[in-house]
Structures are given as C-alpha cells and as structure tokens.
Amino acid sequence: MSEMDILRVQNLVKYFPITGGILGKQIAKVHAVDDVTFSVKKGKTLGLVGESGCGKSTLGRTILRLIEPTSGNIFFDGKDITNISQKQLRPLRKEIQIVFQDPFASLNPRMSIREILSEPFEIHNLFPDKQERIHKVLSLLKEVGLSPEAIDRYPHEFSGGQRQRIGIARALSLNPKIIICDEPVSALDVSIQSQILNLMMDLRDKYHLSYIFIAHDLSVIEHISDEVAVMYLGKIVEYTSSENLYKHPIHPYTKALISSIPRHNVVEKREHQVIQGDLPSPIDPPSGCRFHTRCPFAKEICSKQIPELKNLGSEINSHLVACHFSNELKNNEIL
Ligand SMILES: Nc1ncnc2c1ncn2[C@@H]1O[C@H](COP(=O)(O)OP(=O)(O)OP(=O)(O)O)[C@@H](O)[C@H]1O
C-alpha cells in the first residue's frame, strides 16, 4: 500500500452461500465479488462501474464490514481492518462513511433533519453541548447548500435532490476520510444529478476527501472519477485513469459501455456495440473469461482460461486489462 493510498482492497472475495434441502446444506454460491484488487488515493475518486448485479454494492458493503468477506484483505490508512473486531472498528466507522442511492429509504421519515444530523454525534459522543451541536448541524446544512430552516423539517418535505444533500451532510458530519457513494445520483433527474455531482466534487476538494463512486453508467462518473475500475460479474476487467478509460478503452465490455454514451464514439471503424444477451448468473458464472458468452471477439481460449489483469500502460499498473486479446485490441488489430 502506497502512502498516497487511503484504502487498498487486496484479492477480495465475497461468495454468498446458497443453502437447500432439509439439512440446509450449502448447494451453491453466488460469486458476488471474486478476487478484486484496487486502491483509492487520498483526495481522489475511484469510479466503480458495471451492470446491475456485478457486485458493486457488495464490494462497498464489504469494505464497510457490513458484510464479512470470504477472503482477501482491506487496508485503511495503512492498517489491515479485515479481521479487526466490531469494537476496534467503531472509531474507524467515523472515517469511512456511505451515501446510499435512495436518500428517502435511508432517512428515517419520523426524524427531523436536526435529529437525523445529530444522530452520528450522539452515537460517537461528540458535541454534548446542545448549542454547539445545533451550530454544527446548521453548518452542515450550509455546507450542502440547504437553508437553516431545513433543520426542523422532515424528509418527506424535501425533493429527491435535497434529500440526497441531507444524506451527504450526514456522511460528512463525522469528518470522514473516505465516502463510499453507492449510486448516489441514479434515482435523480439528470439536471439534479449534475448539481449533486458538483457539490460532491467541491466537498471532496475542500476537505481532501476520497470517494469510491459506484455507478452502473459510465456517463455519470466521467467527471468525478480520477480512476475507474470496470466490473463484470464480480471481477475487474479494466482499471485505469479516467482519461485513459474514456479515450483509449481496451476491453470489449468497456468499449461497449462507452459506445452507448452518445457523444463518445470510441469504436472508430466498428459499429456501435450493443452487448448481446443477458448478464449470466453469478451462481454459475461462465468458465474462462466471464465475458466470453457476450464478447464479439471471443475465441476458443476465452472459454478455457481466466485472463489475467495485465498492465498495458507505460507506467506500472497504469492501464490494467483482463482480456486474452488485449494487445491486439490495443493496437486495433482485426481479430
Ligand atoms: N445477501 C445476499 N445473499 C445472496 N446473494 C446476494 C446477497 N447480496 C447480493 N447478492 C447477489 O450478489 C450479486 C451481486 O449483487 P450486488 O448488489 O453487489 O450487485 P450490484 O452490482 O451492486 O447491483 P445493483 O446495482 O443491482 O445493486 C447479485 O447476484 C446479488 O443477487
């Protein structure tokens, strides 16, 4: 783990057991996250993108230790937090926060905004003085662009975008170092999405925050991400700087995702690529390369051998791609 990193996830695996029969024996497992490695730099944003069901939320929740990993390691600020007890984890909970997709579901409808934003202080015994606590809540509201009158209102009195601002204020309240943003704008109108993204970028720069920004759509994370990891069925298939990913995507899955963003016509000589077929089941993922059943370039080897995540960039680990034909694709050779 480099000094620049706030978080490192190493060979992380999460399988959910599926049990059956009268004895409740394990009969199968969901390969939700399968050998995933990445780092998040201090003050930077890692975008994590892929279709619904590819394991993005499981990954986010495993990092928070809301779900226990099957294997692998999670390092936070240089410390291995994979196996520490919930008691040891408690002070770290302040430093790793989450913002959810649906702000309405994540805000208790019976609590006023004052109560919602005071709750983290109560849990962590901070600002016991009432006036100080109110002052802190008001400054949080200001920080996310809400007026002081919001303090005595309830979640249903706000629009979706305003509710997400409250969710962000709550995540911000304990001065975290990293925030896991689990599709925070997916439920919002496009015009509101950019307001929330701008707010999040301003807060990141002001407080030197790091984000893991989870999305199913590459267009959403383009401006906020410094680096992007593309996931397919529990595995990272491409991982590089945001600039590289959008300008020079290599993996056929990434190319197809980008070509579906109207103004990104990266697939110069080829037709707009539509990903064929449905996402296979993570209970019984395809052998070899998991994308081979939908890949327009798949050859025999692809169903037989799992492709390694190889570096194709000029610097160490600067452009990682998991494809048997990544060199050919990089050089635009016809397959
Ligand atoms: N508690 C659980 N028990 C069993 N399977 C689970 C559990 N949680 C998630 N899964 C399965 O793990 C896989 C990955 O789910 P996950 O929610 O992480 O994907 P996702 O990419 O975040 O999708 P979405 O955008 O729909 O939330 C899915 O097949 C899902 O059904």
Domains along the chain? 5-95+174-330 (3.40.50.300)
* 20 pLDDT tier (thresholds 50, 70, 90): confident
Residues in the chain: 335
Find the 52 Cα to ligand 1 centroid distance in Å.
8
Average pLDDT, the chain: 92
How many whole angstroms separate alpha carbon 180 and alpha carbon 100? Answer: 8
CB 155 within 8 A of CB 104: yes
Query: Is the distance from the beta carbon of residue 16 to the nearest atom of ligand 1 less than 6 Å?
Result: yes
How many whole angstroms separate alpha carbon 151 and alpha carbon 235? Answer: 43
Number of the ligand 1 atom closest to the C-alpha atom of 182: 22
Query: Is the distance from the beta carbon of residue 58 to the nearest atom of ligand 1 less than 6 Å?
Result: yes
Query: Is the distance from the beta carbon of residue 118 to the nearest atom of ligand 1 less than 6 Å?
Result: no
Write down the pLDDT at residue 269.
Answer: 44
Of all residues in the chain, the percent with pLDDT exceeding 70 is 96
Query: Is the distance from the beta carbon of residue 259 to the nearest atom of ligand 1 less than 6 Å?
Result: no
Closest residue by Cα to atom 10, ligand 1, is 32
Least confident of 99-113, 209-223, 246-260: 99-113
Number of the ligand 1 atom closest to the C-alpha atom of 18: 4
| Dihedral Cα 258, 259, 261, 265, nearest 10 deg | 110
Write down the pLDDT at residue 272.
Answer: 63
CB 171 within 8 A of CB 203: no
Closest residue by Cα to atom 17, ligand 1, is 57
Q: Is the pLDDT of residue 266 over 90?
A: no
Q: Is the pLDDT of residue 230 over 90?
A: yes
DSSP string, 64-103: TTSS--SEEEEEETTEE-SS--HHHHHHHHTTEEEE-S-H
How many whole angstroms separate alpha carbon 151 and alpha carbon 111? Answer: 11
The encoded tokens of residue 75 equal: 């390092």
Number of the ligand 1 atom closest to the C-alpha atom of 282: 29
Write down the pLDDT at residue 45.
Answer: 97
Write down the pLDDT at residue 21.
Answer: 82
Find the 41 Cα to ligand 1 centroid distance in Å.
26
The encoded tokens of residue 210 equal: 């790091």
Q: Is the pLDDT of residue 267 over 70?
A: no
The encoded tokens of residue 263 equal: 């103004």
Could you give the ipTM of this predicted complex?
0.96
pLDDT higher for 175 or 271?
Answer: 175
Specify the amino acid at residue 185. Answer: V
Write down the pLDDT at residue 105.
Answer: 81
